[in-house]
Structure 1
Amino acid sequence: MLSVIVLAAGQGTRMVSNTPKILHPVAGKPIVHHVLDVALALTEEVVVVVSPQLDALAVTGGRPAKVARQHHPRGTGDAVRAGLEQLQCDDGNVLILCGDVPLVQEAELQALFQQHQQHHKDSISVLGMRLTDPGHYGRIVAEGKRLISIVEFKEATPEIRAINLCNTGIILTSLATLKKLLPELSCQNAAQEYYLTDIMALGQSHGIESYVVEAANSTLFHGINNRAQLAQAEQQYQQMLRHKMMLSGVTLLDPDTVYFAHDTVVGRDTTIYPNVFFGEGVAVGENVTIYPNCHLVKTLLGNDTKVGPFAHLRDHTILEDKAEVGNFVEVKKSRLGTGAKAKHLTYLGDAVVGTKANIGAGVITCNYDGVAKHQTTIGAGAFIGSNSALVAPISIGDEALIGAGSVITKDVPGQALGIAREKQKIILNWVKSRFYK
């Protein structure tokens, strides 16, 4: 049986934010949710330890994880104690993760499990990382794979600080070991906290050995404490997503300028031009072209669709196969049928656009009356002339035609012409009489 305790009770004061550190997003998903998703992929028994003021639902995001409270900030050892109180199991292993390390990967943890199984079931395994700039991370003192101690930076001598093997904060051991050693922790140190890392030294007095497992990719375990580190994590996560996309058959013409969300799905043979931003909830079909400077959120794109340049698709937009949305078009909560086109300077909100309908330049659906939103329905094969306003609720029938510059306030039947503009008037010699008297 495996249980996971995620430590997420840090105050995060260096973020200088009203938002708790663990709720800041990386690729559109809160930091702690990245960690919880990895934990829940390993086991159903997950506890996240947080400070008392945090909202439990915000912390879990609806995930099936228990929430424990560390009522006083007395260190990682005390936080693990709080987490143990929420565990239902009586034995097995406990994996301890840090809630501010969003890039942690399941594969690295599986490697930790495999090496841990080579030792006694009550031993302690620590995931270590070698860093060129160890900074303020705790240092691992080891002889080969045998771990002697972990020394927190505040307690370290210059000789210890010269060590570049650092503690990731990820520990795997048995529940029995934790129950035996945690009560023996002392807060007689520079921070006056109960350091979880002291259990290694305590374990030696009980004949419990500790081992270090070096991470294959140390860059995945950097904790986030400030906005600069948050930006670094975002950049690294984006690089991972971009690489994954390109290996799956997606062409990125300038990868560094394309930003994905954690849940973006893109089909093969799709081409994405520079400066495209994907928010959450976007799924893109195959052979799609997304031109430069587009912003997509909560959008589904069918196969062979085209978007942009400078298009904004948001809030439950659906483009069916071969639909096209072009320059400076905004679409919100609308569905464009197969082969439908809105190529220029258009706003479509709360609209259903039929198959092969054509929306001219400057067309807007007037979906909001100041109190409520209303729907516009445009039939298959309809043609909406340029610079027209469709005042919802309204329905334009199949193959109907709306004259350019019209303000349409009543339904238009199929194959009918709808036009609503003042008849053109020409006054001869008006300019001469007005300006050249």
Structure 2
Amino acid sequence: MKELEVKNLYTLTETLAAPLLSRVTYPWEALPEIGAFIMELGASLSEEEYEKQGENIWIARSAKVAPTAFITGPAIIGKDAEVRHCAFIRGNALVGEGAVVGNSTELKNVILFNKVQVPHYNYVGDSILGFKAHMGAGSITSNVKSDKLLVKVHTPEGDIETGIKKFGAMIGDEVEVGCGSVLNPGTVIGRNSNIYPLSSVRGVVASDSIYKKQGEVAQKR
């Protein structure tokens, strides 16, 4: 399904992860490689722009990181990013330029493109968020199925087998996720779409859509 391909979900000029994402067809194929990619990329970053702190953690000198935030490597915090009070970054996290990781937000095995905002009580695991994507307060990605089986992406054209047990959500550029929403394992949201607050989303939401509830999705005009 063409809409689910990296080139149709994301603007690769808006992330340091472009070399990783450009060599896969579907974005979830990059999930197992995020940690190794960060290690390789971090070692190449300019020491004038990035400071290595702790083990395999690179933080841009222009970034703002609260003293109460906890970061485990490998991780890269991009230029002008903000990591707020009590944020918990559990490793394998690439936080883009100008991104916001808010109070009590937890990240694990993720790529946040530039200008992404996960500002209030969010959990984002095994996921990729595109340029200027925003998750409302309390919205989360659920990254493991209750039956612990491998995740499938449910599309109108049939299921896509991912071969991955942990897979949260692939969120395209400039997506708005409403407060208190749950993005179930294997969710893919196309560019410029909006998710109503308190939604439980699974499968594919087409680009330029307004997701109101399961079975009720409108196209933007």
Q: After superposition, what is the alpha-carbon deviation per residue over 1:387-418, rounded to whole angstroms, capped at 9, x for unaligned? A: 00000101011010000010101211111011
Q: After superposition, what is the alpha-carbon deviation per residue over 1:229-278, rounded to whole angstroms, capped at 9, x for unaligned? A: xxxxxxxxxxxxxxxxxxxxxxxxxxxxxxxxxx9x9966889xxxxxx6
- 2:66 is matched with which residue: 279, 284, 291? 291
Q: After superposition, what is the alpha-carbon deviation per residue over 1:336-367, rounded to whole angstroms, capped at 9, x for unaligned? A: 10111110000000010000111110011010
**1:25-424 alignment, distance < 5 Å:** 280-298=55-73, 299-370=75-146, 371=148, 372-420=165-213
CA 1:415–1:282: 2 relative to 1, 3 Å: same
- Cα RMSD after superposing both structures: 2.3
Aligned-partner residue type, residue 102 of structure 2:
G
**Count of residues in Structure 1 that have an aligned counterpart in Structure 2:** 152
CA contact under 8 A between 1:361 and 1:386: conserved in structure 2?
yes
| SS in structure 2 of the partner of residue 322 of structure 1 | coil
CA contact under 8 A between 1:308 and 1:326: conserved in structure 2?
yes
Corresponding position of 2:20: none
CA 1:267–1:344: 2 relative to 1, 3 Å: farther
Q: After superposition, what is the alpha-carbon deviation per residue over 1:296-355, rounded to whole angstroms, capped at 9, x for unaligned? A: 011111111110111001220001111111111000000110111110000000010000
Aligned-partner residue type, residue 171 of structure 2:
I
Q: Distance in 2 between matches of 1:328 and 1:279?
A: 21
TM norm structure 2: 0.64
Aligned-partner residue type, residue 295 of structure 1:
F
Q: After superposition, what is the alpha-carbon deviation per residue over 1:126-153, rounded to whole angstroms, capped at 9, x for unaligned? A: xxxxxxxxxxxxxxxxxxxxxxxxxxxx
Distance apart, 1:280 and its partner CA: 2.5
> Looking at both structures, which has the greater relative contact order when contacts are Cα pairs under 8 Å and sequence separation is at least 6?
2
Q: Distance in 1 between matches of 2:168 and 2:59?
A: 25
CA 1:314–1:378: 2 relative to 1, 3 Å: same
CA contact under 8 A between 1:267 and 1:284: conserved in structure 2?
no
> What runs of 5+ residues in structure 1 fail to find an aligned partner?
1-262, 272-277, 422-437
TM norm structure 1: 0.33
CA contact under 8 A between 2:90 and 2:107: conserved in structure 1?
yes
Q: Distance in 2 between matches of 1:293 and 1:266?
A: 26
CA 1:395–1:334: 2 relative to 1, 3 Å: same
Corresponding position of 2:151: none
CA contact under 8 A between 2:168 and 2:183: conserved in structure 1?
no
| SS in structure 2 of the partner of residue 350 of structure 1 | strand
Q: Distance in 2 between matches of 1:309 and 1:268?
A: 26
> What runs of 5+ residues in structure 2 fail to find an aligned partner?
1-42, 149-164, 215-221
